[in-house]
Structure 1
């Protein structure tokens, strides 16, 4: 067991003496009972983007929690009740727009302000508002974060009912106990999968009705052949050959995306 004194507010990495795996350990956190008016959650699968947003927010004296996947985002939002949640649509495990839909559908989290990050994977192609925000209060493109994030957050904060400011708790999140923390994944493979999820999330968030119709009729690959082909070409350009040789990650992620959407439509 690792004592709490050895764990930093954002978590600390330790090497397991038995298997030599490097583990990210975070302190457990008590569940909040009301919205923390000074807390912002940044849920983004790209650590660099998350840290860029967190740095801007901390400079404005906000407390910040960063998480990397949809399950972490749901658990953290439910237990910490941040004022604002910035959510990447391409989160692994549970997609960002699904996290948004669930948070807005629960009475204890419906007042959390949500800003979606629907980053277009090909920046040179086009830029237009998403077809739907899935209940989110606003959205921001990745390349607009430095210029517009604080303004959007402050606007949302003004729209929320005024209440006595809370004293923020330490910048940690509720996680599994240290003994249950999983080893860090291969960074190259995760980067590859993150890129593919971004391609698929962008296809969906800009064409939700067409995607659902194609999934339902079993023609997703045919209907979006040009977008998938373009995405695969960019995948080959941006992901190193040595990483791509480790598995057919593009097809795996496409198949997982189709299966998830089928279950959602059936449910």
Structure 2
């Protein structure tokens, strides 16, 4: 956060994340010794032109995508930390609470519902805003926004990050509506409103980079890629169909209730790994079983 002395106009940066639980601070200007007060409460107005006060933690399973997101946020002068593991993300947040966490729904170590639950119930993290990142393994399959976000404040699809991420972060920081209301409006807002300060050339370059990352998939083995893609499919289905998923788990008929989505996920998995689909045939089923087991712990006594 950039502040200016009211007496001599000297400007300096205030590490506002250190005072996340305070509303006003009394400061002394280092140049003229003027004593004055400054508001450091979370921004709740429509003026989002200055984002230098915002501290963001990006927690995503793809380190290269983390670096791309960091470049997007740094361009808006946000302070940004990145990590690719759920436990490390929680540890970093406990050390210094961010204003916003950009959270992969298939983050290694924690699914979205687990991560949100842990963040919401850890001391000092109750004010942290949570923006979920869905991978959208089949971009043509979704004609709706998620019905629920497990209590998160918003979501963004990976291919919308270059043009919409800064706006989405600004929106959840200034939006006092409930998570469900933010969820209902997220899809339309993300498409209609753009960050006018970001040049089109930069946005297109970031989109190309994300597309290239999807094609390259890092230095993983084919088996590692297959397991990660299976987890992405499960995490995205869980995000976009949460009420149906949870009902199936509670009623003990998850695989019957989600048969249509599971068949579609299997088809996409086999298309992606057509040569070795037989070798990795159990990966998707294993991913569904692991998800159901962990979600049962949250839903069932």
Give the TM-score of the pair, scaled to structure 2.
0.63
Q: Does 1:53 align with 2:87?
A: no
Whole-angstrom distance in 1 between the partners of 2:273 and 2:55: 35
What is aligned with 1:226?
260
The corresponding residue for 1:197 is 231
Provide the residue aligned with 1:89 in structure 2: 105
Shift in alpha-carbon separation, 1:243–1:68, aligned structure 2, 3 A:
farther
Matches within 5 A, 1:32-181: 34-35=19-20, 37-158=53-174
C-alpha deviation, 1:159, in angstroms: 5.8
The question of whether the paired residues in 2 share the 8 Å contact of 1:70 and 1:96 is answered with no
Structure 1: any 5+ residue segments left out of the alignment? 1-31, 161-184
* CA separation of 1:97 and 1:264: change in aligned 2, threshold 3 A: closer
Scaled by the length of structure 1, what TM-score is found?
Answer: 0.70
Count of residue pairs the alignment pairs up? 213
1:207 aligns with 2:223: no
RCO higher in structure (CA 8 A, sep ≥6): 1
Give how far 1:243 is off: 8.3
- 1:187-227 CA-to-partner distances (Å, cap 9, x unmatched) read 53333222222221222222222212211333211211121
Which is greater in Rg? 2
Determine which of 290, 296, 299 is the counterpart of 1:256.
290
CA contact (8 A) 2:237 2:261 kept: yes
The one of 252, 258, 272 equivalent to 1:238 is 272
Check the 8 A contact 1:195/1:235 in 2, yes or no.
yes
2: CA distance between counterparts of 1:250 and 1:159?
Answer: 37
CA distance in 1, matches of 2:278, 2:120: 37
Distance 1:261 1:211 in 2: 10
Q: Check the 8 A contact 1:117/1:139 in 2, yes or no.
A: yes
Structure 1, residues 228-267: CA drift from partner, whole Å, max 9, x if none?
1111121122236458736732222111112112222234
SS at match of 1:152: helix
| CA–CA distance in structure 2, aligned partners of residues 127 and 57 of structure 1 | 28
Judged with a 3 Å threshold, the aligned counterparts in structure 2 of structure 1 residues 259 and 64 are, in CA distance, closer, same or farther, namely: same
Unaligned stretches of 5+ residues in structure 2? 1-16, 22-52, 177-218
Note the aligned Cα RMSD (angstroms): 2.8
Cα gap change, 1:98 to 1:34, in 2 (>3 Å): farther
Match 1:188 to one of 222, 231, 241: 222
| Other structure's SS at 1:140 match | strand
